[in-house]
């Protein structure tokens, strides 16, 4: 460039920068410089292009989860961090940000770093020109500390933390820890939180083992409100220490060389590896989904995640879905609810504006007849009158995306 400019033969010289189609790109420096490869991988630093979760494409649809509380049951959170403070849940009673099972008070200060790192993955304050981007730009992070400074803890304290989160309105609870021993107390508290629609994300574990054979708890619990996550790399390989299991692991998500918020001061950031990080990525994705579909039952949101993965050879046979998280696909699938309005036959189909739906009917919930294909209007609605219906036999309706 300098030689061109010095030659006097050209008016100006500049690099031929690569550009891409418009999508939502926040101004956080570590997102912009490509360090956060899992959000947007264009082949930087030895990565494989598009070995990522398509975050900018997802953010075109939903970026904030301001109504969602994500509890991080871990080592606490450095709640004064420059890139976390504004996204902390605040207890309306006393202005604190969570719970400490080790001291029994409301001061979950992080003396280990693990929890603060997860917090930034899920929901660092984003587009604030500082640090990193979180998967959810705005969210309410609840800190529940039960791991000590060395990263160790007891199931009884985990249970107390989960109970605190449940009582205080958490929608999603991240469990990035575990062990080989089954705990009835942890299993029961996770299952009973299902009644409140609470979703759990759990790290599959970092032992490079098949958890269908050697389980890792709580990830290996067979509960439909819990999703177990293995770790993938910037080349869409399985991270070398990640556990796997065709039954006991649900999906993979990025979990190697993950750069996020640190804990030694308010401007500290650090890189970590592990299925812990992968579980937090999925917790962030679920926060966005939960914001989109506040009424959806937990198993439905998990189903949405698992049916929208990028199926890849590295994960085939190593998890139930056979793939790596793709958030864009997960948030781009229409919500479908058919609500009968007037008997006999007015129906309102609610989905995504401009998307096409096929309305079907059945008298036995088994054989379905196509009634009509139509586009949802700008509100995402489509009202249909079924003049052929009678009260007997009863007729059921179902709307499907497409064709």
Reply yes or no on whether 94 is catalytic: no
Alpha carbons 215 and 335: distance in angstroms, whole number: 34
Closest distance of CB 34 from Ca ion, Å = 12
CA distance 304 to 308: 6
Return the sign of the alpha-carbon dihedral for residues 155, 161, 165, 167.
Answer: positive
Q: Which stretch binds Ca ion (CB under 5 A): 6-14, 50-58, 148-156, 160-168?
A: 50-58
Yes or no: say if 24 and 63 are a contact pair by the CB < 8 Å rule: yes
- Looking at the Cβ atoms of 145 and 329, the one nearer to Ca ion is 329
Q: Which residue among 35, 39, 51, 52 contacts Ca ion (CB under 5 A)?
A: 52
What is the token pair recorded at 48? 């494989």
Q: What angle do CA 312, 313, 315 make, to 5 degrees?
A: 75
Query: Binding mask 74-103 vs Ca ion (x if CB under 5 A, - otherwise)?
Result: ---------x--------------------
Element (H, E) at 349: strand 346-350
Cα–Cα distance for residue pair 34/32, rounded to 1 Å: 5
Strand partners, 349: 338, 382
Of all residues in the shown chain, the one whose CB is closest to Ca ion is: 28
- The residue to which tokens 């998307």 are assigned: 355
Coil, strand or helix: which one is 294? coil
We find the least distance from the C-beta atom of residue 157 to Ca ion, in angstroms, to be: 31
Catalytic residue among 74, 83, 236, 310: 74
Tell me how far apart the alpha carbons of residues 143 and 112 are, in angstroms, rounded to a whole number. 13
Query: What's the chain's length in residues?
Result: 403
Place of tokens 């039952």: 297
Smallest gap from Cβ 401 to Ca ion, in A, equals 22
Place of tokens 């009917």: 361
In angstroms, the CA 83 to CA 337 distance is 38
| Candidates 276, 308, 310, 321; catalytic one | 276
Which of 36, 38, 47, 54: binder of Ca ion (CB under 5 A)?
A: 54
Which residues ranging from 6 to 25 are in contact with Ca ion (CB under 5 A)? none
x/- mask, Ca ion, residues 106-145, rule CB under 5 A, reads ------------------x---x-xx--------------
Stretch that binds Ca ion, among 45-53, 146-154, 230-238, 395-403 (CB under 5 A): 45-53
Q: How far is the CB of 315 from Ca ion (least distance, A)?
A: 17
Task: Give min distance, CB of 126 to Ca ion, in A.
Answer: 5
Cα–Cα distance, 403 to 290 (Å, whole number): 26
Active site residue 81: no
Least separation in angstroms between residue 79's CB and Ca ion is: 15
**Is residue 276 annotated as part of the catalytic site, yes or no?**
yes
Q: Interface with Ca ion includes 50 (CB under 5 A)?
A: yes
Helix (H, G, I), strand (E, B) or coil at 286: helix
Q: How many residues bind Ca ion (CB under 5 A)?
A: 9
Query: What's the rounded Cα separation, in Å, for the pair 20 and 50?
Result: 13
* Residue (53 or 286) nearer to Ca ion, CB: 53
In the complex with Ca ion, the residue whose CB is nearer, 130 or 356, is: 130
- Catalytic residue from among 79, 81, 97, 114: 114
Residue 236 interacts with Ca ion (CB under 5 A): yes or no? no
23 or 389, CB closer to Ca ion?
23
Active site residues: 74, 114, 276
Residues that bind Ca ion (CB under 5 A): 28, 50, 52, 54, 83, 124, 128, 130-131
């Amino acid at each position: 460039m300098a030689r061109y400019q010095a030659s006097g033969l050209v008016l100006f010289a500049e690099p031929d920068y690569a550009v891409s189609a418009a999508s939502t790109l926040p101004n956080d420096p570590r997102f912009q410089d490509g360090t956060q490869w899992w959000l947007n991988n264009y082949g930087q630093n030895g990565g494989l292009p598009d070995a990522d979760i398509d975050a900018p494409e997802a953010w075109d649809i939903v970026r904030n989860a301001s109504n969602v509380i994500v509890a991080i049951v871990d080592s606490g959170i450095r709640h004064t961090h420059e890139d976390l403070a504004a996204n902390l849940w605040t207890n309306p009673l006393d202005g604190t940000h969570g719970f400490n099972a080790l001291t029994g008070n409301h001061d979950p200060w992080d003396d280990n770093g693990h929890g603060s790192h997860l917090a930034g993955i899920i929901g660092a304050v984003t587009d604030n020109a500082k640090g990193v981007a979180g998967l959810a730009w705005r969210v309410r992070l609840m800190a529940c500390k039960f791991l000590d400074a060395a990263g160790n803890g007891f199931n009884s304290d985990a249970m107390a933390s989960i109970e605190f989160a449940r009582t205080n309105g958490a929608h999603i609870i991240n469990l990035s820890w575990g062990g080989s021993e089954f705990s009835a107390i942890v299993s029961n508290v996770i299952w009973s939180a299902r009644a409140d629609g609470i979703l759990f994300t759990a790290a599959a574990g970092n032992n490079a083992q098949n958890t269908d054979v050697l389980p890792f708890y709580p990830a290996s619990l067979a509960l439909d409100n819990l999703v177990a996550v293995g770790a993938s790399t910037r080349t869409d390989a399985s991270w070398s220490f990640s556990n796997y299991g065709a039954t006991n692991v649900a999906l993979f998500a990025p979990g190697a060389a993950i750069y996020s918020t640190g804990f030694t001061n308010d401007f500290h950031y650090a890189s970590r590896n592990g299925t812990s990080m992968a579980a937090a990525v999925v917790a962030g994705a679920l926060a966005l989904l939960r914001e989109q579909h506040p009424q959806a039952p937990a198993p439905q949101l998990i189903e949405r995640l698992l049916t929208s993965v990028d199926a890849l050879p590295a994960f085939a046979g190593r998890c139930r879905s056979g793939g790596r998280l793709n958030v864009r696909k997960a948030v781009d699938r229409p919500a479908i609810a058919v609500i009968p309005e007037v008997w006999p036959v007015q129906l309102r189909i609610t989905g995504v504006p401009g998307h096409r739906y096929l309305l079907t009917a059945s008298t036995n919930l088994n054989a379905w007849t196509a009634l009509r294909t139509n586009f949802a209007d700008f509100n995402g609605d489509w009202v249909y009158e079924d003049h052929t219906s009678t009260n007997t036999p009863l007729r059921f309706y179902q709307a499907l995306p497409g064709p």
